[in-house]
Amino acid sequence: MSAVTKVGIIICDRYRRCAGGKCFRALKNREGAFSIYQDGEVELVGYTTCDGCPGGNVEYAGEEMVKNGAEVVHLATGLVVGYPPCPYIDTFKSFLEARYGIKVVVGTHPIPQKYLKMHRTLGSWDDPSWQDKLEPTMCDEKTRLAYD
């Protein structure tokens, strides 16, 4: 990657009116999945929705972000914490990596504590396949509470 890592963010269409506050705060503070950039500069080159199930905008958004120099695309935390969690996360990740040869990270801002509690109650993330997807955004309880 270059001296400045260029990233794009794709959010769940359920949150299409989201102003990006939690994602942008986490990017600025290098929290959650953005902690991987602790030692470097980051430039946001794209922010959009998936366009709703089954993600019709992912192909176009990925292409546009790559044209803008994106080296990494983050699939926003909202895809993980929504009710239900996005069933297409793995498909989006595989497609973007295969089609554009870029790194795809599941997650942006830390998982808010209130979502963690509810998903534990619902058992949404009990399947072991969720553990790798949750890891970048789990953080400690104090940080999760700050994102409630």
Question: 């998982």: which residue's tokens?
Answer: 111
pLDDT at 77: 98
Prediction pTM value = 0.95
Per the structure, the complete domain to which residue 130 belongs is given by 4-146
pLDDT at 3: 87
Q: Where are the beta strands (DSSP E) in the chain?
A: 4-11, 41-49, 72-75, 103-106
The series of mean pLDDT values per 10 residues for the chain, 148 residues long, is: 87 95 97 96 97 95 97 98 96 98 98 97 96 96 97
Residue 29: CB atoms within 10 A of its CB come to 14
pLDDT at 76: 98
Rounded CA-CA distance 54/88 in Å is 7
Residue 132: CB atoms within 10 A of its CB come to 9
For residue 47, give the CATH number of its domain: 3.40.50
- Domain count along the chain: 1
pLDDT at 20: 95
SS3 122: helix
Rounded CA-CA distance 82/101 in Å is 27
